[in-house]
Structure 1
């Protein structure tokens, strides 16, 4: 890695739309981390060190920590130890720590706790979930542009590392461009732009607006990362070409296919990487960098091995009841034997119906497994096969089914604990 000494915006140049020294410093920073093109997104309880290191071995060149709640980072050492997990030997670099919050002093304090372990600190203006509305962070801060800009400025002037921001589009592209320019002027060294609004979420997501991202790239002078609609290696190349962005970021698709950026071809051996092999590699990294809980491991495996788990409910139960990696590994090997249940990414045999990522995006899957898809203007594949009402009803049914399954498993575990308890003599 190139040694790089960051100069704060207040030291580098006066504020203004065209502060050349500030812009030059932003690009110096970008080059110092290798001018990355492939980025692993910040994902709550998902982009932990083990997963980040796995993706780096398969083409990721820059990764983000999970979203870190700034107030909890400052006030709760246990939360900080549980959530912030920089790998100590330098394998997991370059790394960006993402913070969420709305209080500049708290964000600054949290940033100072992590800055010596990362290459930059990012502010989350992109989370569209209801919890972000309640906590007053994420994409809901975009409705408060003065606050948004002031947070970028406070961290850019107060930290010893570059400050970046991850944003979503506003309903107006012109308004998005204007706000991003203000963030640049406030000292942001890079922006990641998700090509959807906060209202475009979950089954309402629709196609990512790459044309809007291209407008922002054209208007800014600092590096821009394009996010949204990155599901295949072809999407990566197309998004870079159509937006002119410095890099592309993937999140959900990368969770199911950590080999997305290398098109499922091992960078060293050239061998094809199927889902069981990716699961094995993830578990091997987990031995070296244990995730905070076994729940993190299970969550990844439910995505990596989505198709065989759907067809093997007993093995799914075994995975849910596992209490250690020693319990998990045999289950993965038994699931690997179900090789006919695979999405086969980046091959002519690709089966969207077998994919976790594509499960709500499939328009039509023909008898031979080919995906019928539609493309929105300026975005990646975003097929729709059912009406919004049908999708919402299906989502509610899945939620209720998961709740029933959790209750049943709790009852089973409780009964097993009672049965295993030694008898107590009553005198």
Structure 2
């Protein structure tokens, strides 16, 4: 996740069940050439394993050079072949890079086209086809909103692990069995944890492992989105801060809690779920 899976956030996700994690997407050429970029955008620690380092690249030699730099500090190097953004098309990496028609799974157009929200869902049947065709480990990615989706995806695809990205930004405790209100089921109880608690944990990790403030600001917005909708004046105060400090952010979380309307995260019966399904692991990407 660009700017969103930096070291403090990875460590928070690991604390709540993620068994491996990806760095943000790094630009292989800039990473190879620019020491300041490397220092600012790639940090790790001895507890940050297993670790995937992800690069965008369109030149194999430059990718190899970047990979050699991170080799002592990671377990895997990943090349981004899935980014659909315009900047990826301009740079000839991500989804547009190396994607001739012969490399794609053909999908016939149905006569009755599904609604847009259905069309953008991940195709687990396609993931299953890839898994059935290969002898190497396959990690499934897409449509993971809670642990129920993790189990369903593993059962459907036979994949060796499951990735989650956007859902973790809102709920970094997903892999520990916690659900947001949106996905709460009848038997779920208050898990004794909420997103404000997670923000406090995240801020403490940022103090331990410093990262650019733009990343901190982004995570605070995403984790506290529901809280800010209840108290938009606090969000406006955050947006008005041109320069953030940890003291100010901790005070902001305290004020949010004092305003009331706590939004808990939920677990089945309020108890922890196991994070393994059929011997397969869950990951953060």
Report if TM-score (shorter chain) is over 0.5.
yes
Of structures 1 and 2, the one scoring higher in RCO (CA 8 A, sep 6+) is 2
Distance 1:251 1:213 in 2: 17
Deviation, structure 1 residue 347: 6.5
The equivalent residue for 2:166 is: 252
Residues 334-376 of structure 1: per-residue CA shift (max 9 Å, x gap): 123355263744479xxxxxxxxxxxxxxxxxxxxxxxxxxxx
Distance 1:132 1:285 in 2: 31
The equivalent residue for 1:295 is: 214
SS in structure 2 of the partner of residue 172 of structure 1: coil
1:328 to 2:252 alignment? no
SS in structure 2 of the partner of residue 141 of structure 1: coil
1:227 to 2:147 alignment? no
The equivalent residue for 1:213 is: 127
List gaps (5 residues or longer) in structure 2.
109-115, 180-189, 270-285
List gaps (5 residues or longer) in structure 1.
1-42, 147-168, 175-201, 349-427
Distance 1:337 1:212 in 2: 48
The equivalent residue for 1:261 is: 175
Return closer, same or farther for 1:327/1:243 CA change in 2, 3 Å cut-off: same
Residue pair 2:146, 2:177 contacting (<8 A) in 1 also: yes
SS in structure 2 of the partner of residue 137 of structure 1: coil
Normalised to the residue count of structure 1, the TM-score between the two structures is: 0.55
Normalised to the residue count of structure 2, the TM-score between the two structures is: 0.81
1:307 to 2:226 alignment? yes
1:273 to 2:193 alignment? yes
Return closer, same or farther for 1:305/1:79 CA change in 2, 3 Å cut-off: same
Return closer, same or farther for 1:124/1:246 CA change in 2, 3 Å cut-off: same
Distance 1:347 1:48 in 2: 30
Alignment of 1:103-142 (within 5 A): 103-142=59-98
Deviation, structure 1 residue 275: 1.1
SS in structure 2 of the partner of residue 138 of structure 1: coil
Q: CA RMSD in A?
A: 2.6
Residue pair 2:82, 2:94 contacting (<8 A) in 1 also: yes
Distance 2:259 2:227 in 1: 6
SS in structure 1 of the partner of residue 96 of structure 2: helix
Residues 132-154 of structure 1: per-residue CA shift (max 9 Å, x gap): 001110111142489xxxxxxxx
Q: Max radius of gyration: which structure?
A: 1
Deviation, structure 1 residue 233: 0.8
1:51 to 2:19 alignment? no
SS in structure 1 of the partner of residue 18 of structure 2: coil
